[in-house]
Structure 1
C-alpha cells in the first residue's frame, strides 16, 4: 500500500521497526511515509476521547492506540481512501488486475 498522501511506495525496511506509520482517514486504514509524517496537515481522523491520531481500523472498528477507546466504524467503512495524485492510473489498474488474478475474479 502506498503512502496515502504522496503515493510513495514502501520498501523493505532495514532491521528494526518500520519508519512508516499507520493512521485512519475517512474510516479507512492508511499508511504515512516518513517524509509525510513531518507534514502537520495530514488531516488524519482523531480519537474523540483523547484527540490522538494514533488510530487503527479493523473489523468494522476504529481503535485508539493511545487511550484504548474503541468505536464502531461509520457506515461505508472499508471504502478505499482517495488515490494520491502521485499514483498513476496505470499502477492502479495493474494492482487491480493482480488482485483479480489472485482472488479469481473475472471482469
Structure 2
C-alpha cells in the first residue's frame, strides 16, 4: 500500500519499528510515509473522544490507539464521492504487482 499523500511505496523493512505510520482517512486505513509525517496537516480522521489521529480501521470498526475508544465505521459510500477516493497508487503499480505474482506463482 502506498503513502496516501505522495504515493511513495514502502521498501523492504529493516529490523526494528517501521518509520511508516498507519492512520484512518475517510473511514479507510492509510499509510503515511516518513517524509509526509513531517507535514502538519495530514488530513487524517481524529478520535471523537480524545482528538488523537492514532486510529486504526479493521473489520468495520475504527479504534483509537490512544484512548481505546471503538466505534463502528460508517459506510464509505455515505462519506465520499467516487472522484475523491484515496488514490489507487502510482501508474503501473497494478502491472508490476501482476508481473511479480506471475513470477512467484510460475505463470507464463
TM, length-normalised to structure 1: 0.78
Matches within 5 A, 1:1-107: 1-76=1-76, 81-83=85-87, 87-88=90-91, 90-91=92-93, 93-94=94-95
Residues 62 and 73 in structure 2, CA contact (< 8 A), matched pair in contact too = yes
Whole-angstrom distance in 2 between the partners of 1:28 and 1:96: 21
Look at both structures and tell me which one has the larger radius of gyration over its CA atoms: 2
Whole-angstrom distance in 1 between the partners of 2:13 and 2:5: 20
**How far has the Cα of 1:75 moved from its partner?**
1.5
SS at match of 1:41: coil
Equivalent residues, number: 95
TM, length-normalised to structure 2: 0.77
Instruction: Name stretches of at least 5 consecutive residues in structure 2 with no aligned partner.
Output: 103-108
Supply the RMSD in Å over aligned alpha carbons.
Answer: 2.6
Q: Which fold has the larger relative contact order, with Cα–Cα distance below 8 Å and residues 6 or more apart in sequence?
A: 1
Whole-angstrom distance in 2 between the partners of 1:60 and 1:95: 30
Instruction: Name stretches of at least 5 consecutive residues in structure 1 with no aligned partner.
Output: 102-107
Q: Structure 1 or 2: larger helix share?
A: 2
SS at match of 1:22: strand
SS at match of 2:56: strand
